[in-house]
Structure 1
Amino acid sequence: MNIASLYAPVHIEESTVVGEHCVFGYPKEARLRAQQKGSGSTSSGEPVVVGAHCVIGNQVVVHEGVWIGANCVIEDRVRIGYNCVVGERTRVAYGAYVCDRVAIGVDACVAGFVCDGTTIGDRSTMMGDLVHEYARPHEGWWEVDEEPPMIEADSVVGYGARVVGGVRIGPRSYVAAGAVVTRDVAPDHVVTGINVHVPAERWRGRRLQGLIRHWQALAKTDRL
């Protein structure tokens, strides 16, 4: 089977730099399976658009239907699944695995693993794993569409942290490295350990005080 014939059309702005051994417009599994069975359409997939002044590293795989805004950096060995949106000036860090239908805001930084359908807000940093509960493994892989996490604007998910299921991380919240979150986090909170939530204004750890003051300034601006 000629897989290349199924690749989606790709538009990359001339000012964007693309590294070696990259793939753009890789087809959805459903279209590949249909082609194997001889029932596939000859039409191309959903287009890929990469904005101006981006830097795309080496061995990056971008599936069909992806939109990448201007001035983004996609580091080496990143995978971006189908129908994802990456906002302007966002960095997707080395080796990140971004599943399908993920929406990432502007000025964000994303690493680790991001499950299907996740939303990551503007100016957020995500260095951990955002995963489904995977509570129905007895059902077919494509028949289950579990609720994904949502990371709201100006929040941080630290390295090795794990957010499980349809959890909402409120704006201006910090999930510490290695923490596990299985329930919603209110705005302006710090989470450590397993679901230990502390209001940011009560947090006494020295290293987060600069970030907390920044959040407080943002909150005042939002109220104006």
Structure 2
Amino acid sequence: MRIKNLQITEQDIIKASWELLDDIGIEAFSMRKLAELLKIQAASLYWHFKSKQSIFQTLANEVAKEALETANLEGAWQEQLFNFVDRIRGVLHKYPCSAQLMMRTLPSEPNYLSLLNTLLQIVDHLPLSDSDKFSLIACVLNYVISFELDKYEQDRIDLAMKNEPNGDARVVFKQSLEHLSGDGPNVIKRMYENNIFNEIGSDKMFYTGLKIMVSGIEQLANERQEREEQEE
């Protein structure tokens, strides 16, 4: 990527930032490496962004913007919440290191704030306190972000273990299972042998967890509604 210093734009920097994240990851990301990718002096970046963190804030805002633009907020609140969170996951999966960006940035950018507000709007009519509504949406958002983070870290571990003398991560894990001590059945070994561990990071596992969370919210709301009716 070759851009003359006088012609560089904020969008050029954003595009290059995504490329750099895809290439080296968020841990190794730096303004110096970004400038090298753009073939410019690092000082030129500071005309547009005051720091690496400000770039991360902008990238996270772009992720939130796309999730909002493609959200399907129709049907019952359970369906809205499920579909919106699923869409957020799709956008996180699309952009490199976007889950890390969402965790490392403040939700102070306009689209990020709108994303949070939209999630809260979906459950705002439920007979719950504002504290409960905020807590449950925080849990749901943390779930989708953590799910993508786990997948990212697992891929890194698998890649790193391939260079180890003992082979890949699955071989090491299987050896550990054979030496698991303790009373009772070795449930985790049974699940491993039945290929349950192959579902880690899968759509099936994500949807199962999300359904559990939505069902839990519904149950909490129903219990609160019943309690209020009894008190009347």
What TM-score results when the alignment is normalised by the length of structure 2? 0.24
| Between structures 1 and 2, the one with greater strand share | 1
| Between structures 1 and 2, the one with greater helix share | 2
Q: Which entry has the higher C-alpha Rg, 1 or 2? A: 2
Higher relative contact order (CA 8 A, sep 6+): 2
